[in-house]
Chain A
C-alpha cells in the first residue's frame, strides 16, 4: 500500500480548535490547580511557619501532590478526548458529512489524532515550564522537588495519557457508539491484568497449592497501565523506568497505526453498531462470556468453598455474560432464544475445565529435588515474601524490615519441609476445603537455576502435619531467622520496652547498658529454649519492643510469651515487673 502524504487542511484545524479547544484548556487548568499551584501554596505555607527537612519526607516526586486528582485526569481525560474527537465516526449525519468532503480518510485521521496529541502534550509542557520557573525563581523550592522531578513528571504523565488516548482512538475505530467506545477502552486497558487475575483465581480451584496472589502481586498489576499507575506512581520514585516508557510508547505507535489501518477498512454504514467489524463480533461475544464465566466462578468459589459452587458460578456467569453480549450486539432485550451459540461455548468450556483439572504440567505433585534447592522461605503467611518480591513495594520500601525473613538453607530443614510437602500432596483429597483449616503454610522454594516454586496450603490441627511444623519451627535456623532479636548485639540496642496490653499496668523500660545486656541475653535464651507450638495462641499480656540505636524505626516487636521465664526473672530483678 503506497503511503500518500497527508495534506494539511487549515479548515480542519480551525474547526477542531473552535469545537474542541476547550478540552485543552480544561486539561491545562486541572493540571495547574493540582500540581504547580498545590506545590506553590505548600511552599508559601512553609515559608510562613518554617520547616525542617523531615517535613518533606512524603514528597517522593510530583505525583505525591494531589495524586487522586492527577490520576482521575490521567485516565479520564484521554478517553474523553478520543470520544469527542472521533465522535464524527459514531454519528451518522456527521459521518456522512465528513466522508463526502474532498479529504482522504488518512488526512482526517492525521488531523484529529495530531490535535489530540497536542491537547495532551501542550498543557502538560506548559505546566512543566511553570514548575521549572518556580523552581528557579523561588528560594527553598528545592525541598519540594528537583529539576529532574519535573522531567520525570512530564514524561510519565505524557506517556500514560498518550497510551490511554491511543487505546481510546483504537477502540473508536472498532466501535460504532461513543458509549461503547468508553466502556471498551477501559476494558481493553484493564484486560491484561483482569484476565490473568481471573485465570489464576480460577486455577486455584483445580490446582492444589496454587497461590494466585503470587502472580497478581508480582507481575499482573503492572500489566495494565491503569493498575500500574494507580498502585505505583505516587508511592515510588521510579515506577517508570525508561524501558517501560519505551514499551508504552511502542504501544502508542501500534494502536495509532492499527487505527489508521482499521479506518481504511471500516464500513461506515455500520455506525451505531457496538462492534463495527462483523468478524470481531464472535470474539466479543465469547470473550465476554468467558470472562464472566471466570468471574462467576471466582465469586461462587470464594463464598461457596466447594467445587460444586464453582461450577454453579461458571454456569450462572457464562449465561449472564452470553446474554449481555448478545443484547449489546443485537441492541435488543429479546435475545433469549439465541441459545445455539451458548451450547457451543459450553462444550468448549467443559473441555477447557477438564484440561485445567488434568494438571498436564504436574503442578500439584511437584516437589523440587533437594539438590536443586538453594533455599526455602517457610512461613504461615505469604504477605512479607510477596512484598519483598515487588521491587518497589510501597509498604516496606522505606521502613526497616519488621518482617522476619525465615529463609532456611540447611538441608536437614529443607528435607523436613519436603517431607511435609509430600505428606500434604498425599492427602490432597482431604485438604481441598480451604477455609475449614486454621493453619496456613506458605512454602517458597528458591532453586539454584533462579526459578521459584511457590505453594500455599491450609492444614488442619494435629498430626501428621503438626509434627513436621514443630520440627521446622523449633530448628535453630528457623528461630534465628524468624526472631530478628537473636541476631543483634546488646550494644546495638537503645532500649527495651515492655508494653502491657492492659493499659492500667505500668510500662517497663530498660535503658541502662548492663540491664539491656542481661535482659537481651535472657530473652535470646528463652526464645531458643521455649518450644514453638504450631497454631497456638499464646497467653500473652504484653508486647516486647527492642529498639535499636540506629534508624528511627529500627525495632523488633514480639509478644511476651508466658514461658519466657528467664527474661521475666531478669525484669523482676530490676523491679520492672509489678506482678
Chain B
C-alpha cells in the first residue's frame, strides 16, 4: 500500500533521512518508533508529500505521492502540531474537509458526534489542547480515507478518549481495510495497536519487522545455576544484555526460544524461565545494539 524507496532527505544541518526504505501493507498498522531527533516527523512529512525527498520515492498503491492530488485525497496526514483555521468552528472546518476530500461522509460525522460529544458550533481555537486533538480525529475519521498517517496522535488525550479512538481506528482497519502509519515515542501506547514496527535511529531504519516476529525473536531469560555462571553459555547464544541479581541471572537473548532453552538446559539451571518482553525493552536493547545505550548514570 505505502512504499518508501531509498529516501534521502537533507536539511541545512545535514542528512536527516539516509536511505530509508520500507513497506506498509494494506490493512496493517505500522508503528514508527525512534529516538529523539531520529527523523520520524521528517519521514512522515516526506511520506505525506509535504517534503520532497532529495532522492528516492514514496508511492501509495504504486502511484507517486508528491504533488499528486489523486493519491493525496485518499489519505489524511495528522501532524504532531495541529492546524485549524483561526476563528473556524468545528462545523466550518468539517465543511472545508468535505469540499477537499471526496470520500467525506456526513453520516460518519454525525455518528461520531455521539463519541466526541462536542458542540460543532464551537470555535476550535477556544478548545483545550486535548479537545483540539479530538476534533482532529473526528475530522480524520469522517474523511473515510484509505490511509491515515499519524504523527504522535495520542498526545494530550485522556485515557478514556485514547481507548475510544484506538478502537475506532481498529474498527476502520477491520471493516474498511484502512492502512495506518503511526509514530510515537510512547511504546506502551502502540504495543497493543500495531502489527508491524519500524525503528528509526539517526535517519536510518534499524529495525523493520512484524511485531510478533520481533517478540518471538528476542527473549528475556531468567536463570540460576548451582555452580555459578557458566561463561561458556554466552558463547553459544546471541546475548544482548545480562544482569546478575544475586545468584539469579537475567539476560536478553536473541534467537528461537526452543534453541535458547536447549542451550541453557545444558548447564542444568536450577531456575529457568522465559519472560515476555515489552516493546519498551525491545526498543532499549535494539537501540543499545546501534550505540544508543543506556549509560550507567553516575548520580552520587
Contact = CB atoms under 8 A, between A and B. Distances in A.
Contacts of A15: 85, 96
A97 B83 contact: yes
Contacts of B73: 102
A537 to B, nearest CB: 66
B161 to A, nearest CB: 22
Nearest to B42: A269
B213 to A, nearest CB: 31
Interface of A: 7, 9-11, 14-15, 18-19, 92-97, 99-105, 107, 267-270, 273, 278
B51 A269 contact: yes
A100 B81 contact: no
Contact of A278 (B12, B51, B87, B100): B12
Contact of B83 (A93, A107, A267, A273): A93
Contact of B72 (A10, A11, A97, A100): A100
A341 B296 CA distance: 44
B295 interface: no
A105 B68 CA distance: 10
Contacts of B236: none
A119 to B, nearest CB: 18
Given A14-B96, A99-B49, A99-B50, A104 B12 contact: no
20 contacts: A10-B99, A11-B99, A14-B96, A15-B96, A18-B87, A19-B86, A19-B87, A93-B82, A93-B83, A100-B45, A100-B50, A102-B73, A102-B100, A103-B69, A103-B100, A104-B69, A107-B69, A269-B45, A270-B12, A273-B12
Nearest to B74: A102
Given A107-B69, A269-B11, 6 more contacts: A11-B95, A95-B50, A96-B81, A99-B50, A101-B100, A102-B69
What 6 pairs between A and B have smallest CB-CB spacing? A102-B72, A102-B73, A11-B99, A97-B83, A100-B77, A102-B69
Interface in B54-111: 67, 69-74, 76-77, 79, 81-83, 85-87, 92, 95-96, 99-101
B12 A100 contact: no
Interface of B: 11-12, 42, 45, 48-52, 67, 69-74, 76-77, 79, 81-83, 85-87, 92, 95-96, 99-101
A19 B84 CA distance: 12
Given A93-B82, A96-B81, A270-B12, A7 B69 contact: yes
A94 B50 CA distance: 11
A76 to B, nearest CB: 23
A268 B49 CA distance: 11
B100 A11 contact: yes
Contact of A96 (B72, B74, B79): B79
A268 B42 CA distance: 11
A101 B83 contact: no
B154 to A, nearest CB: 18
A196 B96 CA distance: 49
Contacts of A96: 45, 50, 77, 79, 81, 83
A102 B81 contact: no
A101 B81 contact: no
A14 B88 CA distance: 12
**Residue of B85, B87, B96 contacting most chain A CB atoms (<10 Å):** B96
B115 to A, nearest CB: 24
A60 B204 CA distance: 70
Contacts of B87: 18-19
Q: Which has the most chain A C-beta neighbours within 10 Å: B49, B67, B71, B85?
A: B67
Contacts of A94: 83
Nearest to B72: A102
A413 B51 CA distance: 74
Contacts of B71: 102
Nearest to B88: A18
Contact of A19 (B45, B83, B85): B85
Nearest to A106: B67
B92 to A, nearest CB: 8
B44 to A, nearest CB: 10
A18 B95 CA distance: 13
Given A93-B79, A269-B42, A101 B72 contact: yes
B153 to A, nearest CB: 14
A100 B150 CA distance: 12
Contact of B79 (A14, A100, A105): A100
Nearest to A264: B67
Nearest to B70: A102
B253 to A, nearest CB: 41
B155 to A, nearest CB: 14
Nearest to A101: B100
Among B70, B74, B86, B99, residue most surrounded by chain A Cβ atoms (within 10 Å) = B99
A93 B136 CA distance: 14
B68 to A, nearest CB: 8
Contact of A104 (B11, B67, B74, B83): B67
Contacts of B83: 93-94, 96-97
Contacts of B76: 100
Contacts of A273: 12
B81 A93 contact: yes
A18 B92 CA distance: 11
A101 B96 CA distance: 11
A10 B83 CA distance: 20
Which among A96, A104, A107, A273 has the highest number of chain B CB atoms within 10 Å? A96
Contact of A105 (B48, B67, B85, B101): B67
A105 B69 CA distance: 10
Contacts of A99: 49-50
Contact of A268 (B50, B67, B72): B50
A19 B87 CA distance: 9
Contacts of B45: 96, 100, 269
Contacts of B11: 269
A132 to B, nearest CB: 37
Contacts of B79: 93, 96-97, 100
A94 B84 CA distance: 8
B48 A102 contact: no
Nearest to B81: A93
